[in-house]
């Protein structure tokens, strides 16, 4: 008397509620709006720094100042790309583009990283050419322009610090600005040393240090962006732990065809097929699916898709389908 048909009849009642396809409202667009506006301000600040340092580098003969100018110019490029990426990514999805343009941010972040690495290699090559043949540098120009860069970049860092915590694209721009502020501090210190003790070799050494630092700091962000584009599982995803949690549900017999990936740096997706032990009616599967989804969402996934299956397993093999 405990057949699926009887259970379905007994479970049917007015408590049934129609599900809604409408997603919960989120303030994601608002974060983007404020973030991109702040990036627009930092673009203007960095253009001022770049022009000033290029002129100053040519006048003073300082490679480290020109290197810092090149880094600032890469900041401008990165910020422009970030701004465009932030604007495009909030465009609504369509029937043909079901995910919208959310990946535009990731592509923008990848462009930022590649530009930093390119600038780093260029600086390194030019600095190596000067090894053993230091050039006399106008240290006063170096000091004052480095000080200007510190102030402007410091202001830019403060402007985008908050939105950078929740957005990989803006975080990449934040990395540009923060590292450039640090390099400007080093350039200013070398300018003071050159003014006091005529240590012109510091200009070359600092240029090498800047380039190596730029390249090294880019690899982590490069790895993160490529992982998202390649649909790798999120770094915090623990498959064994999650499978144990799902498998602990009484009605679950097996889980297969599991896929976990990131759409963006803040949107984590999970999909899988869940084999249930007995032939449940529709109302029961709705409740079961909700319980399993809640377990998965607690592990950090924002979007969960589950397919419930019921089949007679032969020799315990419930996963004969191919991915």
Whose tokens are 């998202």? That residue is 228
* Lowest-confidence region among 97-101, 122-126, 131-135, 301-305: 131-135
- Cα 109 from chain centroid (whole Å): 7
pLDDT at 314: 45
- The SS3 of residue 199 is coil
CA torsion through residues 126, 132, 133, 135, sign: positive
Q: Highest mean pLDDT range out of 138-142, 203-207, 218-222, 315-319? A: 138-142
What was the pLDDT predicted at 22? 37
pLDDT, one tens digit per residue, over 260-303 is: 999 988 899 999 999 998 888 888 899 999 999 999 999 999 99
Q: What is the mean pLDDT of residues 104-124?
A: 84
Hunting for tokens 């450039």 — which residue is that? Answer: 180
Q: Residue 251: phi, psi to the nearest 5?
A: -80, -10
The residue among 302 and 105 whose pLDDT is bigger is 302
Per-residue pLDDT of 8-24, as tens digits, reads 544 544 443 433 333 43
The residue assigned the tokens 């502020």 is: 181
**168-181: per-residue pLDDT in tens?**
667 777 887 887 88
By percentage, how much of the chain surpasses pLDDT 70? 84
pLDDT computed for residue 296 by the predictor: 96
Cα-flanking dihedrals φ and ψ of residue 306, to 5°? -125, 140
Distance of CA 44 to the CA centre of its chain: 23
How large is the angle between the packed helices 139-164 and 63-89, nearest 10 degrees? Answer: 20
User: What backbone phi and psi angles, to 5 degrees, belong to 84?
Assistant: -65, -45
Query: What pTM does this model have?
Result: 0.70
Confidence of residue 35 (pLDDT cuts 50, 70, 90): low
Taking residue 107's Cβ as centre, other Cβ atoms within 10 Å add up to 18
Structural domains of the chain, with CATH: 28-229 (1.20.1510.10), 233-323 (3.30.70.1350)
What is the C-alpha separation between 208 and 17, in angstroms, rounded?
A: 66
């Amino acid at each position: 008397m405990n057949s699926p048909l009887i259970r379905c009849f007994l479970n049917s009642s007015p408590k049934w509620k129609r599900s809604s396809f409408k997603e919960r409202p989120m303030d994601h667009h608002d974060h983007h709006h404020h973030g991109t506006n702040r990036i627009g301000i930092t673009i203007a600040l960095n253009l001022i720094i770049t022009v000033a340092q290029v002129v100053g580098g040519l006048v003073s003969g300082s490679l480290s100042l020109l290197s810092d100018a090149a880094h600032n110019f890469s900041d401008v490029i990165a910020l422009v790309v970030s701004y465009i990426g932030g604007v495009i990514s909030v465009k609504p999805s369509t029937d043909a583009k079901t995910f919208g343009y959310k990946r535009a941010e990731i592509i923008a972040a990848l462009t930022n990283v590649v530009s930093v690495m390119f600038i780093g290699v260029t600086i390194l090559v030019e600095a190596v050419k000067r090894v053993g043949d230091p050039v006399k540098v106008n240290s006063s120009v170096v000091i004052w322009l480095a000080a200007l860069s510190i102030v402007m970049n410091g202001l830019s860092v403060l402007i985008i610090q908050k939105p950078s915590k929740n957005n990989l694209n803006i975080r990449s721009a934040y990395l540009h600005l923060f590292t450039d502020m640090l390099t400007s501090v080093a350039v200013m210190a070398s300018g003071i040393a050159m003014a006091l003790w005529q240590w012109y070799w510091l200009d070359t050494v600092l240029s090498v240090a800047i380039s190596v630092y730029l390249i090294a700091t880019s690899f982590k962000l490069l790895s993160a962006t490529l992982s998202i584009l390649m649909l790798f599982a999120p770094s915090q995803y623990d498959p064994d732990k999650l499978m144990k949690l799902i498998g602990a549900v009484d009605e679950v017999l097996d889980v297969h065809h599991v896929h976990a990936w990131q759409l963006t740096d803040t949107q984590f997706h999970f999909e899988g097929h869940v084999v249930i032990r007995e032939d449940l009616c529709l109302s029961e599967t709705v409740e079961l699916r909700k319980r399993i989804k809640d377990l998965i969402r607690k592990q950090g996934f924002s979007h969960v898709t589950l397919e419930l299956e019921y089949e007679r397993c032969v020799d315990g093999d419930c996963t004969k389908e191919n991915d």
